[in-house]
Amino acid sequence: MGAGRDGWAERLAAALDAGDRQAVRRVVGEVPADREERDRGLDLLAQRSAAGSVAAFELLAELVDELGLARSGVRQVLIDESAVDDVTQDTLVSMAASIRSFTGKARFVTWLFTIAHHRSVDHLRRQRATAPLADDDVGEAVRISSMIATRQAVRDLVSRLPGQYRRAVELRDIEGLPYTDVAQRLDLNVNTVKSHVARGRALLTRLLEST
């Protein structure tokens, strides 16, 4: 689909402006195959997220995860799949923490890939360190997980997450269950649980940034 008045980005903007959640969900479910049109929609969501819209950020985080964009950026640097999983989560959390700095001068995907590259390099640095690392020298996902587990103010914000993300984060980060046990509790597969936890952590980071 082209960049006309009825393009995906324009329909997404109209649905958001109308506050019609069902319409937003319908449009989000119709991500175009055309990369230019898709990227225009992502740019729109990123710009609105940068302006303070938590709703736009929720959609942005969902699309980044579903389209595998953060993972693609990480895979440009890392090969090991377990490391890719971890650093992809780090990238989503860093995206949430940094979204206010998105200016739109570059494509959102380009901006995201820069974050993915930095988080991947950070991971390699930690892996190759010959001297002991400081206790706080950990990935972004581990840091936010620790904050959820130990800080009551952060745990209170968990209640504001969408239901499917909230329960996954509660079981993983507050109750400390392994992903396999969370999956059994929620009757979901492990990859879905990992996705819900990653999105929940990113949204929680965004909420922390806006409080």
pLDDT of residue 5: 53
Is 33 buried (19+), middle (13-18) or exposed (0-12) by CB count in 10 A? exposed
pLDDT > 90? residue 8: yes
Residue corresponding to tokens 């895979």: 75
**pLDDT category of residue 3 using cuts at 50, 70 and 90:** very low
Query: Average of pLDDT values for 178-200?
Result: 94
- pTM for the predicted model, two decimal places: 0.83
Nearest to 60 by CA among 69, 118, 194: 69
Percent of the residues in the chain that have a pLDDT greater than 90, as a whole number = 68
pLDDT of residue 70: 96
Domain ranges of the chain: 8-210
pLDDT of residue 82: 84
pLDDT tens digits, residue range 107-134? 999 999 999 999 999 889 887 765 444 4
Nearest to 49 by CA among 209, 182, 190: 209
Nearest to 162 by CA among 202, 111, 123: 202
pLDDT > 60? residue 186: yes
Which residues are within 8 A (CB) of 2 and not within 5 positions of it... i.e. 6 or more apart? 34, 37
Mean of per-residue pLDDT scores for the chain: 88
Measured CA to CA, the distance from residue 29 to residue 41 in angstroms comes to 12
pLDDT of residue 129: 60
Query: Average of pLDDT values for 29-52?
Result: 95
Measured CA to CA, the distance from residue 25 to residue 192 in angstroms comes to 19
